[in-house]
Amino acid sequence: MKVAVIVFPGSNCDRDMHHVLKDVFHLESQLVWHTDALPKNIDAIVLPGGFSYGDRLRAGVIAAHSPVIKDVKKMAEKGMPVLGVCNGFQILVESGLLPGALLKNTSLNFMCKWTEIIVKNNKTPFTNKLKLDQRIPIAIANGEGRYYADEKTLALLQKNNQIVFTYGEQVNGASLGIAGISNKAGNVVGMMPHPERSAEQIINPKNAKPASLIFESLLNTLGVTA
């Protein structure tokens, strides 16, 4: 089973994601440059974190016009699991694959800390090994991470069970405390926190198991037996 990790100019979590997929969860992972076509034999796509194009104009908006995004959209429509983390989440929103917007944190600070998120939808390809309301100790690192959507969009997210993760504490002023959402079909998930920085016990000061279940959910979805 092969996962494509898309690399944009300014991505900086691509290697971390590649390492976790390959060395920790033993998936075949391939780094794909944003101007290249997606390889034909992939089974999932990850848009990693970072600062594509230096967050110029608005985080994620320029990368959302990259050639590879057309392929990502096609695969997403076919139901392929797609995960966007941090800047990857911002790119998914700016490309229209996920609704809403990611605004500057209320504090206007770049936040880099450990927090906890709570699972609100455990039916997605990235959460099916987690329990509903399970808490995940996880790293956050962003400046434009405040999820915002208008009342109508938030009502639709709730109705369609598209809220995947919420913060366990007040972090950045996000609407409904949202840390991650999915598209209506559930196969495209975006989240601000970093599971790839949290899924190994040696780098997680709390418990790495819940974050590792995000990747084990992907293994489960792809039919890989651990």
Partner 1 sequence: MPSFKVNVIIENKPEIVDPEGDTILNDLILKDKKTSVKKVRSAKMLRFVIDAKDKKSAEKAVLGICNEFRIFNPLVSKVSVETLGA
Which positions are annotated as active-site residues?
Answer: 86, 194, 196
Which region, judged by CB under 8 A, interacts with partner 1, from 47-55, 143-151, 179-187, 197-205?
143-151
Q: Is 61 in the site for partner 1 (CB under 8 A)?
A: yes
Cβ 128 to partner 1 shortest distance, Å:
29
Q: Which residues have C-beta within 8 Å of that of residue 185, sequence separation ≥ 6?
A: 79
Nearest distance from C-beta of residue 99 to partner 1, angstroms:
8
CB of 66: closest distance to partner 1 in angstroms?
A: 13
15 touches partner 1 by CB under 8 A: no
What's the min distance (Å) between Cβ of 167 and partner 1? 17
Q: Tell me if 57 contacts partner 1 by CB under 8 A.
A: yes
Cite the beta strand spans of the chain per DSSP E.
2-7, 28-33, 44-47, 82-85, 101-103, 111-119, 135-142, 146-148, 163-167, 178-182, 188-191
Q: Which of 106, 158, 201, 207 binds partner 1 (CB under 8 A)?
A: 106
Site string for partner 1, 64-83 (x = CB under 8 A): xx------------------
| 101 binds partner 1 per the rule CB under 8 A | yes
Contacts of 177 (CB under 8 A, 6+ apart): 166, 167, 170, 171
Give the binding site for partner 1 (CB under 8 A): 57-58, 61, 64-65, 94, 99-101, 103-104, 106-108, 148-150, 153, 173
